[in-house]
Chains A and B, each alone.
Chain A
Amino acid sequence: MAVKHITTKEIARKVVTNEETTILDVRNTDEFDDWKIEGGSVHVINEPYFNLLDGIEDVEHKLDKDQEIIVVCAKGGSSQMVAEMFDEAGFTDVYSLEGGMKAWSEHLEPTKIADLNGGGSLYQFVRLGKGCLSYFIESDGEAAIVDANRMIDVYEKFAEEKGVTIKHTIDTHLHADHISGGRNLAEKAGGTYHLPEKDATEVTYEYSSLEEGNDITVGNTTVKVQPLYSPGHTIGSTSLIIDDQYLLTGDILFVESIGRPDLAGKAEDWVGDLRNTLYSRYKELSDDLIVLPAHFSFSSELGEGGQVSARLGELYEKNKGLQVEDEEKFRSMVTDNLPPQPNAYEEIRKTNMGKVTPDDEEQREMEIGPNRCAVHE
């Protein structure tokens, strides 16, 4: 029997539908500890492929011969080898993940959030492998994409399927954890790329300034996108209110955590802005707004169908980052709990500024690993 292959799309389905899934991750343990496939009812065991070269005895007993086993590695080569060994040992339902964790890091899963007033729709693209969330707003033949990932073909294909033209791409801030696809998408589609001016002081390209008062419309004034200046993760961070109902918070507020202020090396300066945005600017908004962040950090943040969202009012009750009344305590909570910085974040920022242009393979390598944009206790 030959080893079967499974795609990232099929795994994404299993994650969002909570299907019982057993994964054997054969990468080295450091990489495994750094990030892995999580969420839903996924069970993962780790045994580096190089410990299995002489045989699979050490892990064989942990698994049943007739259960489904998905072997995963960095790029798909070692998982193929290990899957073959399991197959030869009499395991009957063994798969190797095509393209490995590298492909998983790039997989985008679109999910519909809502129908908008005036006949449009809002979609969330969940990048399960990296925790990045981007948004696709379509109305009346036009589309705007917010915080687009590097893999622009996915959005292009989606636009084509929906029969809409990409008019606007918007980044809520200059990203440090992933390479933005916003500029490329806009260039290819002849649309406009919007970026907050305060985050764009060093960029090398033309853009349209994303600022309060300059509303963006999608499809003949039907859907209104209102920028709201909300600094803290970066000095220019700007949230978007869509159709008076949805609050796209970028990397300022997540479902179970809040943004980190340090990725441009200015934690001390920006923590005050972050506090002000979270504890006064957002507080003035309606509790009924649905928060749609640019990231999730925990698989527990994935809701039904893999969506990540929450009512603003609910976050003011439950999100731990919003419960710290004392300003000094807030300051130390944020600056004392900074997680390790995202992989290659300085290079990623430079790439997003247009200062460097790594080739495709280098860009993929730079993005490997978790996003680490949040602070949590």
Chain B
Amino acid sequence: MNLVANETLDAKGLACPMPIVKTKKAIKNLEPGHVIEVHATDKGSTADIKAWSESTGHQYLGTVEEGDVLKHYIRKASEAETSEEKKHGDVLDLDGLRSKIDGDETISILDVREPAEYAFGHIPGAINIPLGELEERFEELNKDDDIHVICRTGSRSDLAAQKLSEKGYQNVKNIVPGMKEWQGPTETNN
């Protein structure tokens, strides 16, 4: 799996409660929206990291097992994402996106979540440019394409859609709410 995290924390060899205690400390210094990768060998850490993330509002992305090491991915909660206000006018809901995917048109889907989020499940064929990299990488996108921007909740994709419009992209739709509610097919990175 091609997983990129902003920070890595080594909690190998530590028994409960230390993996969580250390994760909690490390995440305090992490920027909202960024992803931390926690390496642990305590088997109980998977269930605990997941439950702890849920109770604190952070986003547990998933765990990859490599030999004896468990790599947990957590994304720090970001307040900006809870705001309901969407500025990009052209929006499409998930059903709308699904019928477009099932239809004959060629559409492109831009997933602006962090690479680790994308890796644990995205719409087949979606390309991944994290919101933070869009400024440098937007030229990878074709101006004539019908671009559907998606994230987890619709907030980051809203910002991305605005940015693309500013850059002169005409056919940009923000997909709401986002992957959080997506029931259609997904694939993971291998």
Contact = CB atoms under 8 A, between A and B. Distances in A.
Contacts of B21: 53
B52 interface: yes
A298 interface: no
Nearest to B21: A53
Given A74-B16, A77-B16, A78-B16, A50 B44 contact: no
A75 B44 CA distance: 10
A74 B51 CA distance: 15
A53 B27 CA distance: 14
A50 B43 contact: no
Interface residues of B, number: 14
Interface residues of A, number: 16
A77 B16 CA distance: 6
Contact of B51 (A50, A53, A77, A78): A50
A28 B17 CA distance: 11
Interface in A49-88: 49-51, 53, 73-75, 77-78, 81
Given A74-B16, A81-B17, A48 B44 contact: no
B47 A75 contact: no
A30 interface: yes
Nearest to B25: A53
B27 to A, nearest CB: 12
A365 interface: yes
A31 interface: yes
Given A75-B16, A81-B17, A50 B52 contact: yes
Contacts of A73: 16-17
B24 interface: yes
Contact of B20 (A30, A31, A50, A365): A50
Contacts of A77: 15-18
Interface string B156-167: 000000000000
Nearest to A365: B43
A10 to B, nearest CB: 22
Q: Is the interface of A mostly helix, strand, loop or mixed?
A: helix
B83 interface: no
Nearest to B44: A74
Q: Is the interface of B mostly helix, strand, loop or mixed?
A: helix
A28 B51 CA distance: 7
B20 A75 contact: no
A29 B51 CA distance: 8
B55 interface: yes
Interface of A: 28-31, 48-51, 53, 73-75, 77-78, 81, 365
14 contacts: A30-B47, A31-B47, A48-B52, A49-B17, A49-B20, A50-B48, A50-B55, A51-B52, A53-B17, A53-B20, A53-B24, A73-B16, A73-B17, A75-B15
Contacts of A48: 48, 51-52, 55
A33 B17 CA distance: 20
Interface string B39-53: 000011001100110
B68 to A, nearest CB: 11
A103 to B, nearest CB: 14
B25 to A, nearest CB: 10
A159 to B, nearest CB: 34
Contacts of A29: 51
A188 to B, nearest CB: 29
Contact of A28 (B15, B18, B43, B48): B48
